[in-house]
């Protein structure tokens, strides 16, 4: 049997007849840039995350870079974030002119540890950049008060967490609802994936929404009138049509991911060499990734690959140990939980279209390896 890490062709087969006419309509209209579908998608994503504004942009990376640019960071200005994430989280801080400050994670959720964030606050801290890693929200109810006290901005990296929720003070809060600005990615492998690159920022701050709308169009509110220097970072109309076609399926896809996760976790619960993902009871996870901690990780991964099972290591080198950040002076051993996670994690196939026999095949292979 073959169980790839992700099978986008399986998803395509299921939705092709719905999506292709919408793409054809965009092609017939020839309105590829800022066509009407873009505004519709912006409204839908804003609604989904209970924010007032959605602003489409070219990628999830730009959805973090543009709000960081709004902050007009000066050299030495600090943004506190996690080292256990995709590179873009910290790369954008650097590219916006600031310094990423890496703090350790909670071993259970892999998300940034609020106590570590608090300990890293300095007079130069300008913003917090938590990541809702693998589809589970970070502890915003502890980060937001820290930010409020010092007038810091909170930018949520929700690239992996569209539609995720967390119960805060007795109420469900969506990824994107509480942060100053939140970035989503529509990279094809994300839970809501385009057929190319794409991203979206959401915010409930009217003034910031205005700034972001300008920044993605060379800083001009009106063509050929430039208030500030921005860039070209638009979501194109064809991608908006794909995403509008997929959006009605997202809740069911997330539910399928949770079902698969529960099935794996139950079947692997008694394997002592495997620790299944820990879902914080106040979170509704959307399982962008289903990530185990395992013994003899690299050997297990090689064995699964030989048996036709795709897996991935997200992420093998924490960002504080990346060569490009060596000038920041972090040392091995400094952020032990992130470093331990990097050595132990293995993500299994979790896409919605997986069938039960495929899950059983993965489970049997893992159990067989440790037997």
Q: Which of 88, 112, 279, 335 binds ligand PLP (CB under 6 A)?
A: 88
Beta carbon of residue 1, minimum distance to ligand PLP (angstroms, whole number): 28
User: Alpha-carbon distance 123 to 101, whole Å?
Assistant: 13
User: Angle between the 8-29 and 237-246 helix axes, to the nearest 10 degrees?
Assistant: 130
Q: Which is nearer to ligand PLP, 216 or 268 (CB)?
A: 216
Beta carbon of residue 364, minimum distance to ligand PLP (angstroms, whole number): 30
Beta carbon of residue 159, minimum distance to ligand PLP (angstroms, whole number): 3
In angstroms and rounded to an integer, the radius of gyration of the C-alpha atoms of the chain is 21
Q: Which is nearer to ligand PLP, 235 or 274 (CB)?
A: 235
Q: Which of these ranges, 30-38, 86-94, 138-146, 203-211, lies near ligand PLP under the rule CB under 6 A?
A: 86-94
Asked if the bond preceding 315 is cis, omega within 30° of 0, the reply is: yes
| 86 lies in the site for ligand PLP, by CB under 6 A | yes
Q: Which of 11, 49, 82, 89 binds ligand PLP (CB under 6 A)?
A: 89
DSSP string, 161-214: -TT-EEEETTEEEETTTSSSEEEEE--TTSSS--SS--EEEEES-HHHHHHHHH
| 184 lies in the site for ligand PLP, by CB under 6 A | no
| 185 lies in the site for ligand PLP, by CB under 6 A | yes
Specify the DSSP class assigned to residue 134: G
Q: Which of 19, 26, 48, 59 binds ligand PLP (CB under 6 A)?
A: 59
Q: How many residues of this chain interact with ligand PLP, rule: CB under 6 A? A: 15
Beta carbon of residue 161, minimum distance to ligand PLP (angstroms, whole number): 9
Q: Which of these ranges, 20-28, 66-74, 82-90, 240-248, lies near ligand PLP under the rule CB under 6 A?
A: 82-90
User: Alpha-carbon distance 218 to 143, whole Å?
Assistant: 32
Q: Which of 163, 199, 230, 245 binds ligand PLP (CB under 6 A)?
A: 199
| 279 lies in the site for ligand PLP, by CB under 6 A | no
Beta carbon of residue 84, minimum distance to ligand PLP (angstroms, whole number): 10
Q: Which of 37, 54, 60, 245 binds ligand PLP (CB under 6 A)?
A: 60
Name all contacts of 309-312 with Cβ < 8 Å and 24+ positions apart.
309/3, 309/348, 309/349, 309/361, 309/362, 309/365, 310/3, 310/4, 310/5, 310/6, 310/349, 311/5, 311/346, 311/347, 311/348, 311/349, 312/5, 312/346, 312/347
Q: Which of 102, 110, 187, 253 binds ligand PLP (CB under 6 A)?
A: 187
Q: Which is nearer to ligand PLP, 59 or 109 (CB)?
A: 59
Please give the residues from 156 up to 175 whose contact with ligand PLP meets the rule CB under 6 A. 157, 159-160
User: Alpha-carbon distance 230 to 212, whole Å?
Assistant: 9
Quickly count: other Cβ atoms within 10 Å of residue 205's Cβ: 17
| 61 lies in the site for ligand PLP, by CB under 6 A | yes
User: At which residue do the structure tokens 């940034």 appear?
Assistant: 112
| 180 lies in the site for ligand PLP, by CB under 6 A | no
| 131 lies in the site for ligand PLP, by CB under 6 A | yes
| 128 lies in the site for ligand PLP, by CB under 6 A | no
Hey, which residues does 236 pair with through a beta bridge? 33
CA distances from 175 to 149, 202, 280 (A): 22, 10, 15
Quickly count: other Cβ atoms within 10 Å of residue 122's Cβ: 10
Residues near ligand PLP (CB under 6 A) are 59-61, 85-86, 88-89, 131, 157, 159-160, 185, 187, 197, 199
């Amino acid at each position: 049997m073959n169980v790839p890490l992700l099978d986008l062709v399986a998803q395509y087969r299921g939705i092709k007849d719905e999506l292709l006419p919408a793409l054809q309509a965009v092609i017939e209209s020839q309105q590829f840039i800022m066509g009407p579908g873009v505004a519709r998608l912006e409204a839908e994503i804003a609604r989904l995350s209970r924010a007032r504004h959605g602003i489409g942009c070219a990628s999830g990376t730009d959805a973090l870079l543009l709000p960081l640019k709004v902050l007009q960071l000066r050299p030495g200005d600090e943004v506190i974030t996690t080292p256990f994430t995709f590179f873009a989280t910290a790369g954008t801080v650097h590219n916006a002119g600031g310094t990423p400050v890496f703090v350790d994670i909670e071993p259970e959720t892999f998300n940034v540890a609020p106590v570590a964030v608090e300990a890293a606050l300095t007079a130069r801290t300008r913003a917090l950049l938590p990541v809702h890693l693998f589809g589970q929200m970070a502890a915003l109810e502890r980060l937001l008060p820290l930010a409020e006290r010092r007038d810091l901005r909170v930018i949520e990296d929700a690239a992996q967490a569209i539609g995720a929720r967390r119960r805060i003070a007795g109420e469900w809060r969506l990824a994107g609802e509480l942060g100053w600005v939140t970035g989503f990615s529509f990279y094809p492998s994300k839970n809501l994936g385009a057929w190319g690159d794409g991203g979206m920022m959401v915010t409930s701050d009217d003034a910031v929404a205005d700034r972001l709308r300008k920044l993605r169009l060379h800083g001009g509110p009106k063509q050929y009138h430039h208030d500030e220097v921005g860039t070209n970072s638009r979501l194109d109309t064809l991608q908006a049509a794909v995403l509008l076609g997929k959006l009605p399926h997202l809740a069911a896809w997330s539910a399928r991911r949770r079902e698969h996760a529960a099935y794996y976790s139950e079947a692997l619960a008694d394997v002592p060499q495997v620790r299944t993902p820990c879902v914080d009871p106040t979170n509704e996870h959307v399982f962008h990734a289903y990530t185990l901690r395992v013994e003899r990780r690299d050997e297990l991964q090689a064995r699964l690959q030989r048996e036709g099972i795709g897996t991935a290591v997200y992420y093998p080198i924490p960002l504080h140990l990346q060569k490009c950040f060596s000038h920041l002076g972090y040392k091995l051993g400094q952020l032990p939980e992130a470093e331990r996670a990097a050595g132990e994690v293995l993500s299994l196939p979790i896409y919605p279209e997986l069938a039960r026999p495929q899950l059983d095949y993965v489970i049997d292979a893992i159990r067989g390896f440790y037997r």
